[in-house]
């Protein structure tokens, strides 16, 4: 099976970041082309050693790689944990010979110590697309599957400010237990375009935003950078933006959409945010 080139992304000094042109911003912080038929792609970020993987099995199952060049381990989850949200059609994740059926927007958490992880689609013509986030782990937590009904739902925003949205929390301090990984997704209501606004930072955690359910001819403007020195990325469907601890992370789309947020760092408190006064944004 031909595999897409895996990438490593280095951290950036916020002072140097101010001088980045469009290509440098996209090369360092935007993850494109995560999903191709019967292939996998992984991006290893040195922000909290976070790994993003896209897996799309079509003609045959795909086994999770060890990525030994990064982990120096016998198997990927020897010292790691991961979360999966399916953004395609139905599929199966086999964890040490146990099958877990995942429908679209359902989540599976796999703790450290699990050796063999295999991804399959129920239909090669209508494949699953498994979006994976992984972080280092210091102990093993149980494998847990969660449906939409199991998620902690939080309603935020309003129509007047175009940011009415529903947050589905899966892996978090009061939900699926993990060492440090926090993961879920946010779905904007029809007619709303702003996410995570007003913006914030959280110096204790990095974050990755993965945008999906965005029409192919639409875009999202993802805003990042220090509050007084912001930049933007033009993001399309099924692309992800890496957000450093010191950076805001907010977006506005040309149409409503959804996005998966994955975090790792010093704590798992979803509400641990440093709010930004809009008067200071530049």
- Report pLDDT for 78: 97
**Predicted confidence band of residue 269 (pLDDT cuts 50, 70, 90):** confident
Give the CB-side neighbour count of residue 70, counting CA atoms within 13 A.
25
Residue with tokens 């029809």: 190
- Report pLDDT for 2: 45
The per-residue pLDDT for range 134-169, each reduced to its tens digit, is 999 999 999 999 999 999 999 999 999 999 999 999
- Report pLDDT for 173: 92
- Strand partners for 169: 152, 184
- Higher local confidence (pLDDT), 268 or 105: 105
Rounded CA gap, 16 and 246, in Å? Answer: 13
Rounded CA gap, 242 and 45, in Å? Answer: 8
- Report pLDDT for 4: 56
Rounded CA gap, 29 and 51, in Å? Answer: 13
Rounded CA gap, 151 and 87, in Å? Answer: 16
The per-residue pLDDT for range 185-238, each reduced to its tens digit, is 999 999 999 999 889 999 899 999 999 999 999 999 999 999 999 999 999 999
Rounded CA gap, 32 and 41, in Å? Answer: 10
For residue 271, what are the contacts with CB-CB under 8 A and spacing of at least 6? none
- Number of Cβ within 10 Å of residue 205's Cβ equals 23
Rounded CA gap, 61 and 95, in Å? Answer: 13
pTM comes to 0.96
Instruction: Please give the average per-residue pLDDT across 253-281, as a whole number.
Output: 91
The per-residue pLDDT for range 94-113, each reduced to its tens digit, is 999 999 999 999 999 999 99
Q: Are 219 and 280 in contact (CB under 8 A)?
A: no
- Cα end-to-end span (Å), the chain: 47
| 3 pLDDT higher than 50 | no
| 1 pLDDT higher than 50 | no
The per-residue pLDDT for range 46-78, each reduced to its tens digit, is 999 999 999 999 989 999 999 999 999 999 999
According to DSSP H, which parts of the chain are helical? 14-17, 22-29, 68-71
Rounded CA gap, 195 and 192, in Å? Answer: 9
């Amino acid at each position: 099976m031909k595999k897409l080139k895996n990438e490593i992304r280095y951290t950036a000094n916020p002072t140097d970041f101010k001088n980045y042109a469009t290509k440098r911003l996209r090369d360092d912080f935007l993850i494109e082309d995560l999903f191709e038929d019967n292939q996998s792609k992984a991006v290893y970020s040195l922000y909290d050693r976070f790994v993003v993987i896209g897996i799309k099995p079509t003609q045959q199952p795909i086994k999770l790689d060890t990525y030994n060049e990064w982990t120096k381990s016998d198997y990927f989850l020897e010292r790691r944990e991961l979360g999966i949200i399916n953004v395609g059609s139905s599929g199966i994740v086999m964890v040490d010979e146990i099958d877990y059926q995942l429908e679209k927007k359902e989540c599976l958490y796999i703790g450290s110590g699990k050796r063999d992880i295999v991804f399959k689609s129920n239909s090669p013509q209508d494949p699953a697309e498994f979006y994976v986030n992984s972080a280092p782990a210091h102990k093993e937590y149980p494998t847990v599957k969660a449906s939409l009904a199991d998620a902690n739902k939080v309603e935020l925003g309003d129509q007047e400010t175009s940011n009415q949205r529903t947050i589905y929390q899966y892996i978090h301090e009061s939900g699926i237990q993990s060492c440090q990984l926090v993961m879920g997704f946010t779905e904007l209501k029809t007619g709303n375009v702003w996410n995570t606004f007003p913006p914030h930072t959280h110096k204790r955690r990095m974050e990755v935003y993965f945008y999906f359910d965005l029409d192919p001819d639409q875009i999202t403007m993802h805003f990042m950078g220090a509050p007084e020195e912001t930049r933007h990325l033009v993001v399309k469907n099924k692309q992800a933006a890496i957000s450093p601890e010191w950076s805001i992370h907010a977006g506005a789309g040309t149409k409503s959409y959804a996005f998966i947020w994955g975090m790792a760092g010093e704590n798992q408190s979803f509400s641990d945010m440093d709010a930004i006064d809009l008067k200071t944004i530049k």
